[in-house]
Amino acid sequence: MASPVATWRANNPDAQIKVRDLANEPLPHLDAQRVSAFFTQPDARTPEQQVYVDESDALINEIKQSKVIVIGLPMYNFGIPSTLKAYFDQIARAGMTFRYTENGPEGLLSGKKVYIFAARGGLYAGTALDSQTTYVRDFLNFLGITDVEFIYAEGLNMGDDAKDKALASAKDRLLKLAA
């Protein structure tokens, strides 16, 4: 049986794929210097501030050019990995990915499809302990991305049988999506 990625690539031969591995190539976390750089007028930025803005701009341009976004989402202590939070902080920029209007914030990244592949040791979907789903969906919605689909592989630390069933179910779902 072909992998979901191989199936998707076969069905989308002209697609360009950009992989951003946040686990092995983490982005810097948002700090006061970066926030200050984002709010400093371009002609008043220091060279260091411009580097911060350029890094964020590159990530924003990458997501703006994407039609389909896939996020691998392990659960760490009931939350998202700090590396994903750092990525979110880099791409959430007023005037770039959202704007403030008289009616409140408006996302500027509409027309994209996001698949979230959520891997968890326990069974959390639909429970009070699942803070990930709401947080990630709300964040993406804030940016204007409303077509968000979660694929869960849960119970991965609940024994080999549970793990095998969860992975087989998730793989089956992924193959259907890739077809």
pLDDT > 70 fraction of the chain, expressed in percent and rounded: 98
Q: What pLDDT does residue 16 have?
A: 84
Please list the ranges in the chain whose pLDDT falls under 50.
1
For residue 7, with 0-12 CB atoms within 10 Å meaning exposed, 13-18 middle and 19 or more buried, which class applies? middle
Residue that the structure tokens 């979660």 belong to: 150
Number of domains in the chain: 1
Q: What pLDDT does residue 2 have?
A: 57
Residue that the structure tokens 């990625």 belong to: 5
For residue 135, being part of any structural domain is answered with: yes
For residue 28, being part of any structural domain is answered with: no
Q: What pLDDT does residue 44 have?
A: 98
Q: What pLDDT does residue 20 have?
A: 92
Query: Are residues 30 and 90 in contact, defined by beta-carbon separation less than 8 angstroms?
Result: yes
For residue 124, being part of any structural domain is answered with: yes
For residue 82, being part of any structural domain is answered with: yes
For residue 35, being part of any structural domain is answered with: no
Mean pLDDT over the full length of the chain: 93
Helix%, strand%, coil% for the chain, nearest 5: 45, 20, 40
Beta bridge partners of 108: none
Q: Tell me which residue range forms the domain holding 112.
A: 4-8+67-178
Q: What pLDDT does residue 1 have?
A: 46
CB neighbours of 32 closer than 8 A, spacing ≥ 6?
A: none
The b/e string for 143-169 (b: 16+ C-beta within 10 A; e otherwise) is bbbeebebbbbbbbeeeeebbeebeee
The CATH number of the domain holding residue 149 is 3.40.50.360
For residue 114, being part of any structural domain is answered with: yes
Q: What pLDDT does residue 178 have?
A: 79
Q: What pLDDT does residue 6 have?
A: 76
